[in-house]
């Protein structure tokens, strides 16, 4: 089966960088691209004319939300409420428990992965919240996620997450970490079994990745074993680190080092390691301690996974995208929230970086798009992803230029990332299969899963009440923007 996709613009790849082809076409046979250019001379089985659209590599989301987003509860939380949104030490000592049923936990990834596809994400490495969980991911819920991804056609790097400890709030409102013996070790072994079973499933769409939770919730032994298993399984690792001041201080008090220095000291960092957020580091405005964590990231080939929108919501920003790239650090991007909209993330990363650097050079939206595509594929060790070129996988999206809000089209990259949003993705092809067209996914009733998603969220929201160390009322804990008259 040879398929041709045509559009007003094609973002091709010349072996070194992306390039813009006016009135271009991409031709693929089964799951592999065989031609990118203007006039394919061979015969094709089918032609898809996307019309006035940009045909481009799909987004690689290396911190993709795999559940129903809780961030709307944490965004704009006043300082006197923030601690109440974390599990309390009292709750931990009573014994954590699942808020959601097994059926609900199996559903959440269907909701999340549908969101990802609708926003043009073709490869995802998921993250799920532990705020309302008994502990971390269960084997069963991640197994359900694999089957949802496989049926939807989403390329996924995954396994159940795991942690040795949990961030909790003491009675005085301060934060600490409480550990449960054996939980992290059992979780790691569970993840390894999962990868051995599912790596390569669904025609290679499903690949393994080890996903330990936050650095402060891991023991040193479990981190070292994680690295050893990643080398054995030849899979990437994602570990949240350098993402908050509590974590930075906790690791420094325990080890005398910054989180990045500590990870280097135990041999954890490397080309197969991605660190989401990774901005509370020595050598930036966020840390006064002497040292240079950026050199460590560069020398070890470790990837920084920026999540501009969710960090921006907290009033912070990476300092800066251009600085990291100038130091030869591989940067990828994750959405980490709803909407999983890379149009927002790319322009916000560009704006924040320009503000930090006081210049455009190195901070343009095209620079960030390289990170979303080529930076993401570098961490995964996949030269067949993140680009439209012969031999690459047929993973691509069509971004519509027709709607009035796009305005006058000049440079297609600047136009779509200045004016567009995830809803402008009108077609998505993954592994040679059209998984979304005209905002429709075959076999998915968006209204039905939206309604189920709302019920899930409402139940998840109420779970915060019992975990609050102050046991605030619902109105106190969840402040409305304006008074509500019922």
* pLDDT tens, residue by residue, 323-336: 999 999 999 999 99
Q: Read off the pLDDT band of 372 (50, 70, 90).
A: very high
Instruction: Supply the DSSP symbol for 422.
Output: G
Handedness of CA 147, 150, 155, 157 (dihedral sign): positive
Q: Is residue 485 part of a domain?
A: no
Do 412 and 297 belong to one domain?
no
Write the DSSP assignment of 351-419 as a string of letters: HHHHHHHTSSTT-SHHHHHHIIIIIHHHHHT-TTSSS-STTSB--EEEEE--SGGG-S-SSHHHHHHHH
The pLDDT-based confidence of 314 (bands split at 50, 70, 90) is confident
Judged against a pLDDT cut of 90, whether residue 33 lies above it is answered with yes
Which pLDDT does position 132 carry in this prediction?
85
What per-residue confidence (pLDDT) applies to 125?
A: 98
Identify whether 385 is part of a domain.
Answer: no
Q: What is the pLDDT of residues 460-472, one digit of tens each?
A: 999 999 999 999 9
Average pLDDT over residues 447-466: 94
* CATH number of the CATH domain containing 38: 2.30.40.10
29 & 42 share domain: yes
Q: What percent of the chain has pLDDT over 70?
A: 100
For the chain, what is the domain count?
Answer: 2
Predicted TM-score of the model (pTM): 0.96
pLDDT at position 353 over 90: yes
CATH of the domain at 86: 3.20.20.140
Q: How far is Cα 31 from Cα 408, in angstroms, rounded to an integer?
A: 34
- Domain extent for 36: 1-55+402-437
What pLDDT, in 10s, does the model give residues 141-157?
999 999 999 999 999 99
Asked whether the predicted pLDDT for residue 55 surpasses 90, the reply is yes
Instruction: Please provide residue 468's backbone torsions phi and psi, each rounded to the nearest 5 degrees.
Output: -70, 125
- Which residue, among 216, 134, 133, has the nearest Cα to 177 in the 3D structure? 216
Residue 465 lies in a domain: no
Q: What pLDDT, on the 0 to 100 scale, is given for residue 447? A: 96
Residues 127 and 71 in one domain: yes
- Residue 278: its pLDDT value, please? 97
pLDDT digit string, tens, across residues 208-245 = 999 999 999 999 999 999 999 999 999 999 999 999 99
Q: State how far the Cα of 332 lies from the Cα of 339, in Å rounded to an integer.
A: 18
């Amino acid at each position: 089966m040879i398929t041709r996709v045509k559009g007003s613009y094609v973002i091709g790849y010349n072996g070194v960088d992306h390039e813009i082809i006016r009135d271009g076409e991409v031709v693929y046979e089964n799951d592999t691209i065989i031609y990118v250019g203007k006039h394919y001379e061979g015969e094709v089985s089918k032609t898809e004319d996307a019309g006035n659209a940009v045909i481009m590599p799909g987004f690689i989301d290396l911190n993709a939300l795999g559940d129903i987003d809780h961030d709307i509860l944490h965004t704009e939380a006043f300082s006197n409420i923030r601690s109440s949104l974390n599990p309390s030490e009292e709750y931990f000592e009573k014994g954590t428990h699942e808020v959601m049923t097994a059926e609900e936990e199996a559903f959440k990834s269907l909701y999340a992965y549908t969101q990802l596809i609708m926003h043009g994400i073709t490869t995802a490495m998921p993250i799920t919240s532990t705020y309302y969980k008994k502990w971390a991911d269960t084997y069963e819920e991640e197994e359900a996620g694999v089957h949802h991804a496989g049926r939807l056609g989403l390329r996924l790097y995954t396994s159940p997450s795991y942690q040795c400890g949990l961030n909790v709030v003491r009675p005085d409102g301060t934060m600490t970490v409480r550990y449960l013996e054996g939980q992290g070790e059992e979780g790691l072994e569970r993840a390894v079994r999962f990868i051995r079973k599912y790596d390569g499933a669904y025609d290679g769409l499903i690949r393994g990745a080890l996903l330990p939770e936050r650095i402060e919730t891991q023991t040193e032994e479990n981190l070292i074993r994680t690295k050893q298993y990643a080398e054995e399984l030849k899979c990437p690792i994602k570990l949240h680190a350098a993402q908050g001041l509590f974590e930075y201080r906790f690791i420094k008090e325990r080890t005398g080092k910054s989180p990045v220095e500590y990870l280097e000291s135990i041999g954890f960092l490397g080309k197969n390691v991605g660190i989401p957020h990774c901005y509370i580091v020595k050598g930036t405005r966020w840390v006064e301690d002497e040292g240079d964590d950026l050199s460590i990231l560069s020398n070890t080939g470790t990837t920084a996974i920026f999540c501009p929108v969710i960090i921006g919501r907290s009033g912070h920003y990476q300092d800066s995208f251009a600085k990291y790239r100038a130091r030869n650090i591989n940067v990828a991007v994750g959405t980490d929230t709803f909407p999983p909209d890379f149009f927002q993330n790319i322009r916000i990363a560009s704006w924040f970086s320009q503000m930090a650097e006081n210049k455009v050079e190195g901070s343009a939206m095209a620079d960030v798009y390289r990170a979303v595509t080529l930076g993401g594929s570098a961490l995964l060790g996949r030269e067949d992803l993140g680009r439209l070129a012969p031999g690459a996988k047929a993973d691509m999206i069509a971004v519509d230029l027709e709607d009035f809000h796009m305005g006058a089209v000049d440079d297609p990259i600047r136009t779509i990332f200045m004016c567009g949003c995830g809803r402008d993705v009108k077609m998505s092809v993954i592994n040679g299969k059209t998984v979304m067209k005209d905002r429709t996914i075959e076999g998915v009733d968006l209204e039905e899963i939206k309604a189920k998603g709302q019920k899930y969220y409402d139940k998840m929201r109420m779970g915060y009440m019992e975990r609050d160390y102050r046991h605030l009322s619902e109105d106190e804990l969840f402040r409305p923007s304006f008074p509500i008259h019922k």
